[in-house]
């Protein structure tokens, strides 16, 4: 179990790089990480997921500028998701499929928080990956229907919202994001994702009143709940 937590933390470190570099159109490769303030190369022992942030007190070793909290947060969230997925499903193709989905959702969520945009370069290939992996998980038919349900639902919400509010109520990125989730989780998973995402969104957004909060992170949270506990929730509803 500890191995999956550590693996998730390490992969989360890479996701942090993607979150920073992709929206800025910087190269994503094996180039060395540098402090964005002083430009000093970050040594390997200062780049250990989660631990280095704590030991450095959240500051650069050289210029003492603050390291954004999002980096250890991404690492911790990814580590918890990797561990939770392994604990729920063990080692297998379903676990691999969910880890791929969760990793993309973590990256998408933090980019949406930063830029209010969800990049097609992640969601569109993500749909394709969901379709391919569905041959060994939920079936290609359920994956295709999941895409249709995810895209269709939010497209309808977007149209109704624009008619009622006279402005865009749902971005195209959110629509494609739920389509990607549907490709991995199927139509039921897409529905549960939207339900739980909207529920969490209301709870978080209401106290913030008029401040605009992107919907992508809430859809991601809904997908985490649907993927890890959706079957249990459905079985509880059926039994009652």
Distance of CA 228 to the CA centre of its chain: 14
In a shared domain, residues 81 and 100: no
Taking residues 110-137, what's their average pLDDT? 95
CA distance 24 to 79: 25
In a shared domain, residues 78 and 107: no
Q: In terms of residue numbers, what domain contains 169?
A: 92-240
How many folded domains does the chain comprise?
Answer: 2
CA distance 218 to 130: 20
Residue 131 has pLDDT above 70, yes or no: yes
In a shared domain, residues 81 and 110: no
Taking residues 153-166, what's their average pLDDT? 82
In a shared domain, residues 156 and 75: no
In a shared domain, residues 123 and 222: yes
Residue 169 has pLDDT above 80, yes or no: no
Please provide the average confidence, as pLDDT, over all residues in the chain.
90
For residue 171, name the pLDDT band (cuts at 50, 70, 90): confident
- Percent of the chain past pLDDT 90, that is, above it, reads 65
| pTM for this predicted structure | 0.93
Tokens of 119: 């990049």
Domain final position from 66, 91, 116: 91
Tokens of 142: 């359920």
Q: Which of 97-111, 144-158, 194-208 has the lowest mean pLDDT?
A: 194-208
In a shared domain, residues 116 and 54: no
In a shared domain, residues 206 and 111: yes
Dihedral of alpha carbons 84, 230, 200, 146, sign: positive
Domain final position from 91, 123, 140: 91
Integer CA distances (angstroms), 12 to 64, 126, 179, 202, in order: 23, 18, 23, 27
In a shared domain, residues 80 and 158: no
In a shared domain, residues 213 and 194: yes
Half-sphere exposure of residue 12, counting CA atoms within 13 Å on the CB side? 28
Taking residues 175-193, what's their average pLDDT? 96
Residue 31: per-residue pLDDT: 64
Taking residues 178-188, what's their average pLDDT? 97
In a shared domain, residues 124 and 200: yes
In a shared domain, residues 164 and 174: yes
Residue 240: per-residue pLDDT: 64
In a shared domain, residues 55 and 118: no
Domain final position from 40, 68, 91: 91
């Amino acid at each position: 179990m500890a191995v999956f937590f550590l693996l998730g933390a390490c992969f989360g470190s890479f996701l942090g790089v993607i979150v920073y570099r992709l929206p800025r159109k910087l190269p994503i490769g094996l180039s060395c990480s540098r402090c964005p303030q002083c430009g000093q190369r970050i040594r390997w022992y200062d780049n250990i997921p989660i631990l280095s942030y704590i030991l450095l007190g959240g500051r650069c070793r050289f210029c003492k500028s603050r390291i954004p909290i999002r980096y250890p947060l991404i690492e911790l969230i990814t580590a918890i998701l990797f561990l939770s997925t392994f604990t729920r499903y063990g080692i297998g193709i379903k676990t691999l499929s969910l880890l791929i989905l969760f990793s993309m959702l973590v990256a998408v969520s933090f980019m949406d928080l930063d830029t209010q945009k969800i990049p097609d370069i992640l969601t569109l290939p993500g749909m394709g990956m969901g379709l391919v992996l569905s041959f060994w998980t939920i079936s290609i038919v359920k994956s295709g229907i999941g895409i249709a349900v995810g895209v269709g639902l939010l497209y309808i919400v977007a149209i109704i919202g624009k008619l009622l509010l006279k402005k865009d109520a749902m971005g195209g990125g959110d629509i494609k994001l739920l389509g990607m989730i549907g490709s991995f989780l199927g139509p039921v998973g897409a529905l549960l994702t939207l339900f739980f995402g909207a529920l969490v969104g209301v709870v978080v957004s209401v106290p913030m009143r008029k401040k605009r909060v992107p919907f992508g992170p809430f859809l991601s949270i809904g997908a985490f709940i649907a993927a890890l506990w959706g079957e249990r929730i459905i079985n509880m509803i059926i039994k009652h």
